[in-house]
Structure 1
Amino acid sequence: MYQYSLSWFINLYVLSIETANKSNILKKRLDYLRETFTYNLYQNVCRSLFEKDKILYSFILCTTILLANNEISRDEMNFFLTGGLVLKSSSVANPEPNWLADKAWEEIKRSANLPTFASLMDDFMEPASVSKWKSFYDSINPEETKLPKPWEQHLSNFQHLIIMRMIRPDKVIPKVMIFVQKSMDSRFVTPPAFDISRSYADSNCLLPLIFILSPGSDPMSALSKFADLSNYSSRFFSISLGQGQGPIAQNLIRESQKDGSWVCLQNCHLAISWMSELEKICENLDYSNTVKNFRLWLTSYPSDKFPITVLQNGIKMTNEPPTGLGQNLMRSYISEPVKDPEFYTGCPGKEKSFTRLLYGLCFFHAVIQERRNYGAQGWNIQYGFNESDFQISAKQLQNFINEYDDVPFKAILYLTGECNYGGRVTDERDRRCLNTILDDFYNPNVIKNPKYTFAINEPKYSLPKKYDYVDYIKQIEMIPTHPPPELLGLNMNAGITRDLEISKMFFDSLNKMEGGMSIGDLTRQDEILLSKKNDIYDRLPEDFNIEEALELFPASYSESMNTVLIQELQRFNILLQEIRTSMIMLEQAVKGMIVMTPDLEILAAHIISGKIPPSWRKASAYPSLKPLASFVNDFLERLAFFREWLTVGKPTIFWISGFSFAHAFLTGAMQNYARKYKISIDLIDFDFKVLPTYKADTPPENGVYVRGMFLSGARWDINNMYLVEAKPKILNEPMPIIWFIPTKRSDIQVKERYACPLYITSERFGTLKTTGHSTNYVLTILLDTNISSSHWIKRGVALLCQLDD
């Protein structure tokens, strides 16, 4: 939906010339024109962008100007985008593995290719200097902290950004805002507020005004209010598009063109078949057939079927729902039905029960909305919970309280958690989390306990003593806009995870906007491609000899792992052949021996950008979120694991992360047990025991020892052998060996153990394969805990087979 036409750009350019300050001195006049046009461009584009993209646009605008003025170099810009291009790293080990991430160290080593950072790696090898860098790393606000000497004075504003990317990537966005502010002006990091009147002033009768919708936003109330203020309430017509509404809308527009009325067509994305007609209507708007007071307002969610010409020429606006717990709570209280006095006082004699549970419902609605900002730890899938879910739940709450002497918690929990909100939830683990959170807000203690609070020892998150509407408003005003993650049920590290995810989205969007990496002249780009091709190609081993493997590990009734091994070797051979073939063809294309096809161009662009090429993903039997360098290293480790299996024999401990299809490995382990003891495999499931070690010399009699998992959202206390809170800034910790014990399902004791899901990647969400298995979810592992499992459910604690780096 972010599209603009040349005519739109020219109109803005002409307007800037007319409104810019005048001067008889040419240089001053040009400066005024440049400043006015740049800010007008920022304002006009920014009002049509979603909040998440506004700082991205500010950065692109700023760096484009600086690149044009040669104030920053293209090499430094490329490094900031990708973290460096060299795939093969030097052998210098990470000097501070306890706090400096391996990814950060690799980027520091690669930064030596930039003249300014040539001595940075050596600086980290000096004990006196590295302690200062650790202080910078540990800083609460590193974006405002000075770098160790002499780097603070030695580096430019943009080079400070590169340091932030390497050492504290979670704080890149705040640093970008400081960078834009210093390079341009604070105005360019302060997006204009949503203002219909300003957009209207820039419009005319031939240009439609387009509201780009987002989940939870509804501009109609603001538009209706603006129509009233403009004395157009009697000449403002609105229609929601859908089946059969097209001709009605067309007639309404035709009549309004003649008498100068306003027309609003809502939900254009629902009338895809009529969009071509809308395009013709907009093209035929002319001063000869349209009164100058006529306005056409459109609302639509982002859609690739929306007419391009209408998008390019129209005036676009976004109006997103409020962010922050306090604002979300306030919005619920000043919206229908809560703001209606008749509804709020609709439970005579039961005001205490109704108002306190209603506040709990509002708080719950705000919490589940805010958790969406925390990625997979908040929700595996980003659900569009909206006001209708809240409104129907509030009305049902009132009905049940009025109809029953005692509050029927079981009924309202089911309707709210399973039907209203839960109707949107498609992931089983998300449904469990939703209902666990709801239990904190819908329970008898909310009514009975006068000191009940939604956060331990925090009065501002408690319920007011009185039941009046104004008392709840005052209580909401005490709540900070951005509370700590713990209030949402998450670990303190979730904030870092959220910031890292935002930074990742920022860099991904930047790379898409740049259209891939731009190295400079083609000769240099070809050199880098060939260098990277050789780095990858030379490290690839020979294909596995399947016939030889079948002789060593033939299919056996008593050993299903032989079949699993052969299947894995076949899958990895496919990927090996694809990588080898594509690398050879890329080299030939670069040297001009064959034609550079579109597929090879895509391959080259991904390799230059340090990403996994699509053709490799298609050939790969396993998902991965790693960058190219880490993916290649991980792939080679997997090959080494299976080659050792071929040469040494069946492993004592199985590396679950190394399997391309872990479900087959788990099925093979159960089959061995079922055939050994002649038990139907349908009656068997895994029980689990965590061992207090990371190594083992002998395999178990039954089941398998498994390694290679990482705990996200919590930590395993190897001394007490149960889950505990994660340490600050430690987002993922390696899990000790887990013994997967095949057991009759009826004999498994869940007790108070936490049912922890195991995922292949941190993305967590996956699609269902034809085999009936998820592309990401593997199985649920029972882990011991000394506190309630609900605590870890709200934390979003999970095991991962692989990390992103």
Structure 2
Amino acid sequence: EIEYNSNFRLILHTKLANPHYKPEMQAQSTLINFTVTRDGLEDQLLAEVVKAERPDLEELKADLTKQQNDFKIMLKKLEDDLLSRLSSAGENILGDTALVENLETTKSTASEIEQKVAEAKITSKEIDKAREYYRPAAARASLLYFILNELNTINPIYQFSLKAFSVVFQKAIARADPGETLDARVSNLIDCISYSVFQYTSRGLFECDKLIFASQMAFQILLMNEEITSTELDFLLRFPIKPHVTSPVDFLSNQSWGGICSLASKDEFRNLDRDIETSSKRWKKLVESEAPEKEKFPQEWKNKTALQRLCMIRALRPDRMTYALSDFIAEKLGSKYVENRALEFAKSFEETSPSTPIFFILSPGVNPLKDVEALGKLMGYTMDLGNFHNVSLGQGQEVIAESAMDTAAKNGHWVVLQNIHLVRKWLPVLEKKLEFYAEGSHPEYRMFLSAEPASSPSAHIIPQGILESSIKITNEPPTGMLANLHKALDNFTQETLEMSGKEAEFKAILFSLCYFHAVVAERRKFGPQGWNKIYPFNVGDLNISVSVLYNYLEANAKVPWEDLRYLFGEIMYGGHITDDWDRRLCITYLEEYMQPDLVDGELFLAPGFPAPPNTDYAGYHGYVDETMPAESPYLYGLHPNAEIGFLTTRAENIFRTVFEMQPRDAGASGGAQGLREVKAN
């Protein structure tokens, strides 16, 4: 033990979710838990909404609270003063004029205060009643925050702070459409808050996790609105299968029949097993259709709720559950939640500040630096001008990075720190520097970080502070033909389409190239049925191919189809390919997509999807949205059965993850789902 000054105080602070200290330390300290609960956060957010929507109400509420506290202090002072006088009074209390007068003053003041308190209570009730109209918006926002807070169970890189969430929340309130009535305004607020949070979060999620997040969002919102019950949802997620049963029909496997038997044991699905046996023709037609989730169920089963239909699809065709989930989310929340269009980098940049860096979560074959450089060029930040610092981290680069940050924070420059996962020991220093320059630095100072995600949760090394304060962006190729084709077209502009002298030919071949790029990239998801080996096809291949196309069209009077096919198939994309069968496949695609019929006749890029007519940039995007058939292996020239295996596995993984993310106690308003922030002193 040591002697210490009586004014000495030690305050410890941790961001750990559940910190463990030695018992002797616990006994010596006072632990203060700053965990936020759902109800607590809801009240905080309600104050924010009312402050923005009805500042008069919030101001009045604050004044009333202050007034009530002042009254309490005044009464306490009067009581203390009275007690002090009584204790020091002599034997003749009534003869003490000052004491009697003080008693009278205390009595009259107390009755005045009592009256004012009664008035304040009435006013307070009226204010609370007016504030309650906005509670649904605050409740939705609080729910969404706790969904975000659970995402780190999927991947530790998904960390979000309450501070960053509050900024998104306030911007959504400002952006929401006005309503003619208060109900309409609240509805617009809820919609805008939900979609803003969805966009903010999903741009930082990997493709495989986006549907998990959207599903969890839909389920929790429906639970809160009491549109579904926790029992129904629990059954869908766990989906117990009755073991050791034999399917009596040829179109369902024993496992599927086990699921049907399990469903039939519930009141809502009574006699489902018997109905499938007796009306097997109708059910066979449904089960063997290409998209059973879009078909109507036979007889009275078509009147079931959306969630009950999901349960039936899970038993009948588990491989279609990802599509069924997307349809369910679109039906309940709106189609914009499943469109999966990438957010422009410039839009994300608008949300940055000296205290909010951008954090790129890297994927193979994707280089986000070009987006930063392109935007920097537009805004006057380049390496030539000396106000754009790009440091690729590795051995000995930490000093250069620190120097760049010092200069940038002082003069308002941009700093890009690439591959921060390579400098594990320096990361705490980076966290402190980011925190230090978050305040008091030049308003134009901006930070951009990039790192690869860890292969497993135990290998995760990026500090929580860096992740929480950043806007996270993943640059993975999107999933599905529609999203892939849009993303491929997004690399070009109207100016690109108009740059060639042979405009009609250039446009037609460019669109076909985008389709080819989407096909080769998306075939990877089919495993060995797509490509024998995994190849890092990326946007760079597409951009170079378009440059080659432009040069060859300008240099030749006629379209050199054979040359183009060779360059694209053997060099640009073929340069990645090492397997002979894969090379043959790549060439075959180009023979289909790159031929004179593309320009002179009518060419179908896929069954039901002809090459588009000559149009402008927006026209091509519109054509894709209107004409593209539903997602299926046909779009890639594959048999429909090619996707059964990987789709079933993916659906099982989604349900398992969503199940693990469910609040442990559905009735509690937080408790276990607290914000991971604890302080001790």
What band does the TM-score fall into relative to the shorter chain? 0.5 to 0.7
Q: Which runs of 5+ in 2 are unaligned?
A: 1-14, 18-33, 55-126, 145-193, 455-459, 667-681
Aligned to 2:636: 488
1:24 equivalent in alignment to 2:173: no
Give the Å deviation of 1:312. 2.8
Aligned to 2:656: 511
1:453 equivalent in alignment to 2:603: yes
Structure having greater relative contact order (Cα 8 Å, sep ≥ 6): 2
SS of match in other structure, 2:259: helix
Aligned length in residues: 494
1:194 equivalent in alignment to 2:343: yes
Q: 2:140 aligns with which of 35, 39, 44?
A: 35
- Equivalent residues of 2:393, 2:417 under 8 A apart: no
Partner Cα distance (1:418, 1:203) in 2: 42
Aligned to 2:158: none
SS of match in other structure, 2:248: coil
1:95 equivalent in alignment to 2:240: no
Aligned to 1:710: none
1:330 equivalent in alignment to 2:480: no
Q: 2:439 aligns with which of 280, 287, 301?
A: 287
Q: 2:449 aligns with which of 277, 298, 309?
A: 298
Partner Cα distance (1:333, 1:362) in 2: 10
Q: In the TM superposition, what whole-angstrom CA distance separates every residue of 1:368-426 from its partner, at most 9, and x where no partner exists?
A: 23434545433344432113323445566777899999999888766644454234335
- Equivalent residues of 1:451, 1:463 under 8 A apart: no
Q: In the TM superposition, what whole-angstrom CA distance separates every residue of 1:627-665 from its partner, at most 9, and x where no partner exists?
A: xxxxxxxxxxxxxxxxxxxxxxxxxxxxxxxxxxxxxxx
Q: 1:165 aligns with which of 303, 314, 321?
A: 314
SS of match in other structure, 1:94: coil
- Equivalent residues of 1:7, 1:313 under 8 A apart: no
> Once superposed, what is the RMSD of the aligned Cα atoms?
5.1
Partner Cα distance (1:514, 1:16) in 2: 29
Give the Å deviation of 1:27. 4.5
Give the Å deviation of 1:268. 4.2
- Equivalent residues of 1:327, 1:481 under 8 A apart: no
Give the Å deviation of 1:111. 2.7
SS of match in other structure, 2:356: coil
Aligned to 1:310: 466
Q: Where does 1:24-103 land on structure 2 (aligned, <5 Å)?
A: 24-25=128-129, 27-37=132-142, 38=144, 39=194, 41-64=197-220, 76-86=232-242, 88-90=243-245, 93-97=246-250, 99-103=251-255
Q: Relative to 1, partners in 2 of residues 1:95 and 1:462: Cα closer, same or farther, differing over 3 Å?
A: same
Give the TM-score taking structure 2 as reference length: 0.57
Q: 2:588 aligns with which of 436, 440, 445?
A: 436
Q: Where does 1:761-772 land on structure 2 (aligned, <5 Å)?
A: none
Partner Cα distance (1:403, 1:232) in 2: 36
Partner Cα distance (1:101, 1:29) in 2: 51
Aligned to 2:536: 384
Q: Which amino acid aligns with 1:61?
A: M
Partner Cα distance (1:8, 1:375) in 2: 44
Give the Å deviation of 1:318. 3.8
Q: Which amino acid aligns with 1:95?
A: P
- Equivalent residues of 1:4, 1:312 under 8 A apart: no
Structure number with greater Rg is 2
Partner Cα distance (2:313, 2:269) in 1: 13
Q: Relative to 1, partners in 2 of residues 1:309 and 1:378: Cα closer, same or farther, differing over 3 Å?
A: same
Q: In the TM superposition, what whole-angstrom CA distance separates every residue of 1:273-311 from its partner, at most 9, and x where no partner exists?
A: 7645533433444525x3444321223443445444311
Q: 1:421 aligns with which of 573, 582, 592?
A: 573
Aligned to 1:371: 523
Give the Å deviation of 1:254. 0.9
Aligned to 2:325: 176
Give the Å deviation of 1:83. 3.6
Q: Which amino acid aligns with 2:646?
A: E
Q: Relative to 1, partners in 2 of residues 1:172 and 1:452: Cα closer, same or farther, differing over 3 Å?
A: closer
- Equivalent residues of 1:8, 1:313 under 8 A apart: no
- Equivalent residues of 2:494, 2:617 under 8 A apart: no
Q: Relative to 1, partners in 2 of residues 1:79 and 1:458: Cα closer, same or farther, differing over 3 Å?
A: closer
Partner Cα distance (1:357, 1:189) in 2: 29
Q: Which runs of 5+ in 1 are unaligned?
A: 465-469, 522-805
Partner Cα distance (1:393, 1:43) in 2: 32
Instruction: Point out the structure with the larger helix share.
Output: 2
Partner Cα distance (2:211, 2:271) in 1: 32
Give the Å deviation of 1:148. 3.7
Give the TM-score taking structure 1 as reference length: 0.50
Q: 2:361 aligns with which of 207, 212, 223?
A: 212
Partner Cα distance (2:436, 2:453) in 1: 24
Aligned to 2:78: none
Q: Where does 1:221-260 land on structure 2 (aligned, <5 Å)?
A: 223=372, 237-239=388-390, 241-243=392-394, 245-260=397-412
1:116 equivalent in alignment to 2:261: no
- Equivalent residues of 1:275, 1:306 under 8 A apart: yes
Partner Cα distance (2:562, 2:295) in 1: 52
SS of match in other structure, 1:239: strand
Q: Which amino acid aligns with 1:100?
A: L
Q: Relative to 1, partners in 2 of residues 1:188 and 1:517: Cα closer, same or farther, differing over 3 Å?
A: closer
SS of match in other structure, 1:24: helix
Q: Relative to 1, partners in 2 of residues 1:81 and 1:380: Cα closer, same or farther, differing over 3 Å?
A: farther
Q: Which amino acid aligns with 2:405?
A: I
